Chains A and B, each alone.
Chain A
Amino acid sequence: MKKLLQKIAKKSPWLYRINAGSCNGCDVELATTACIPRYDIERLGCKYCGSPKHADIVLITGPLTARVKEKVLRLYDEIPDPKVTVAIGVCPISGGVFRDSYAITGPIDNFIPVDVNVPGCPPRPQAIIDGIVEAIKIWETRL
């Protein structure tokens, strides 16, 4: 039974989105990637889920602002292992244009183990799909 579940789980990683103080640009691109038929991410078996407890691949946007940091870390801890983390946009990766600001505590890999980076301000939907494909490859090895 466990083996069967593992085999099935490989084909349908569920995505979960965390907004760590993003300007909403990357979130719009994420919504575009998932919700409109043109870049349909469900072809890869992915699906957005509303609860962190159902998530397999975590997509993080935003530079991890000081105000939202504790909440993001708490939310991240609620996601069951194994999980794959993808940083979307330049903000979580390096801070982007907000780097060295007093209001942000990022880069996010100081607090959260990141697996795939997709830089861009914002990245194209195709680039996000690239990142998710990469994340699925990692996800298959972790099961």
Chain B
Amino acid sequence: MSSFLKIAIRNLLKGPSTDPYPFGETFVPKGLRGKIKYNAKACVACRMCEHVCAGGAIQIREVADKSGLEFILWHNTCAFCGLCEHYCPTKAIRLTEDYHTAHRQEDKYRYVEKGFIKYVNCARCATPMVPIAFELLNVAHDQVNEDIEKLRHLCPKCRQERALR
């Protein structure tokens, strides 16, 4: 009896345990897998995310005027599995802790994360190519020196020629 009273009094003093949301702030556990954020600057268009996406939410395609690649992620079929983040070599895709996903029906097909990768021209032969992100150099090399930095601006073909010379 006394132990029960102790618990009852402690609970009375503690106040309600109900989460105040939506009238107040709520808690977000660390590492919550929420909406995906995409950083076009770090992306190298390897299309691994498109390949591993369980829900088929990610699409990378060339835009109509062929000036670059467009990244589209439809949140309405993303399962928050995190495979894209896991396999992204440059961590251009990140899962945020944003869980606010409710929206009206008229926004259903507008509920996307978009990004645009503009082609750059090769420094030697001027063919358009996907820019090589600096993050990728850090993955491939221990130390990035000037020579490697120069290779960044060459297309795969010119890079090959440079390497064989």
Interface size on A, residues (CB 8 A): 32
Q: Interface 1/0s, chain A 96-136, versus B by CB < 8 A?
A: 11010000000001000111111111011011111101100
> Shortest CB–CB separation between residue B57 and chain A, in angstroms?
9
Interface of B, secondary structure class, is loop
> Shortest CB–CB separation between residue A96 and chain B, in angstroms?
5
Which residues of B, 71-107, contact A by the 8 Å Cβ criterion?
74-81, 99-105
B78 touches A119 (CB 8 A): yes
B22 touches A93 (CB 8 A): no
B77 touches A94 (CB 8 A): yes
A115 touches B80 (CB 8 A): no
> Shortest CB–CB separation between residue A31 and chain B, in angstroms?
16
> Shortest CB–CB separation between residue B14 and chain A, in angstroms?
13
A117 touches B103 (CB 8 A): yes
Complex CA distance for A99 and B57, rounded to whole angstroms: 11
Complex CA distance for A118 and B104, rounded to whole angstroms: 9
Complex CA distance for A128 and B121, rounded to whole angstroms: 47
Complex CA distance for A128 and B126, rounded to whole angstroms: 51
- CB-CB < 8 A to B99: which residues of A? 120, 123-124, 126-127
A121 touches B79 (CB 8 A): yes
> Shortest CB–CB separation between residue B84 and chain A, in angstroms?
14
B100 touches A127 (CB 8 A): yes
Q: Does B18 contact A (CB under 8 A)?
A: yes
A97 touches B55 (CB 8 A): yes
Which residues of B, 19-63, contact A by the 8 Å Cβ criterion?
19, 21-23, 26, 32, 54-56
- CB-CB < 8 A to B18: which residues of A? 37-40, 43
Q: Does B17 contact A (CB under 8 A)?
A: yes
Q: Does A90 contact B (CB under 8 A)?
A: yes
Q: Does A95 contact B (CB under 8 A)?
A: yes
Which residues of A, 40-97, contact B by the 8 Å Cβ criterion?
40, 43, 90, 93-97
B108 touches A99 (CB 8 A): no
Minimal Cβ-Cβ distance residue in B for A88: B102
Across the interface, B102 reaches (CB within 8 A) one of A39, A97, A116, namely: A116
Across the interface, A127 reaches (CB within 8 A) one of B76, B101, B104, namely: B101
Q: Max chain A CB contacts within 10 Å: which of B21, B78, B81, B100?
A: B21
A123 touches B77 (CB 8 A): no
B17 touches A90 (CB 8 A): no
Across the interface, A114 reaches (CB within 8 A) one of B16, B22, B78, B105, namely: B105
> Shortest CB–CB separation between residue B131 and chain A, in angstroms?
32
| 13 more CB-based (< 8 A) A-B contacts, given A97-B55, A130-B100 | A37-B17, A38-B19, A90-B79, A95-B77, A96-B79, A97-B79, A99-B56, A116-B104, A117-B103, A120-B80, A123-B101, A126-B99, A133-B22
Of the A-B pairs whose beta carbons lie under 8 Å apart in the complex, a sample of 8, sorted by A's number, is A38-B19, A90-B55, A114-B105, A116-B103, A116-B105, A117-B111, A123-B99, A129-B22
